[in-house]
Amino acid sequence: GIFIEIKISKDDSDYMYNIIQKIIDECGPRMPCSPQEAKGAEIIKKELEETCDEVQIEPFKCHPRAALGWIRIVILLVITSFCLFFLIQLLLELFWAYFLSLLSSILMFLAILIAWEEFFSYKEFIDPLFKEKDSQNVIGKIKPSGEIDKIIIFSGHHDSALQFNLLKYLKHGYVIVIFLGLGTFFLWFLGSLIFGIITIFAFLLNFTLIYDFFLNFAIWLLIIGAIPMLFLFFFVTPGKKAN
């Protein structure tokens, strides 16, 4: 391949750091759709006007709290699934035991579906559940002197997205929390799915639910995963130094 060495002068380097520092100092944390984000956009617009032929602010709407808000919804679904499962022991001889078992499994299926669509597929699956707000892009154009052959786009973000603070406080323990939290999530999904299938056969074939084994499994999972899930639920903070 072709390797092109790009030399950045000290003046350009200083400008890059200084403009970012200026935005941080004058605006502070710039959460999506906040007045601080809009102020940062105005600073960038003013800078671009010095070099671009055309500069404009492009308004758009989004659901800023959905970016990490889906995690809390998933955790609430997981906790509710556990609670429904533990209630089954009080109703083992009744029809409600089958109903709660299936409902517990359905909630976990919904949790895994939300996580897959929002995180792995990066789709706005449940974004409409969160409040819609106004945000903006800043677009600067340098027009060509001749015929357009190719268009080069430089892109970044001027908001400071919500971030987890676990890494700051826990250091390497962050990996352990994530591993235990996700492990609990996926293991309980599999456990509740298997138990749900057994429940269907138990109802159709009229035999007693195999509950004790899954009860012990759920208790140990909850002991291991409760604290990591609480960390994932609460430790979110507005960013500041994101570019």
Fold of 10-238: Four Helix Bundle (Hemerythrin (Met), subunit A) (1.20.120)
What digits encode the pLDDT tens for the residues 152-175? 999 988 998 766 666 666 777 777
pLDDT at 166: 66
CA dihedral 118, 121, 122, 128 (to 10 degrees): -50
With a CB cutoff of 8 Å and minimum separation 6, the contacts of 145 are none
* Three-state DSSP class for residue 157: coil
- Chain centroid to Cα 192, Å, comes to 24
Give the chain's residues under pLDDT 50: 241, 243
Domains of the chain, residue spans: 10-238
Q: Exposed (0-12), middle (13-18) or buried (19+): which is 188, by Cβ within 10 Å?
A: buried
pLDDT at 1: 55
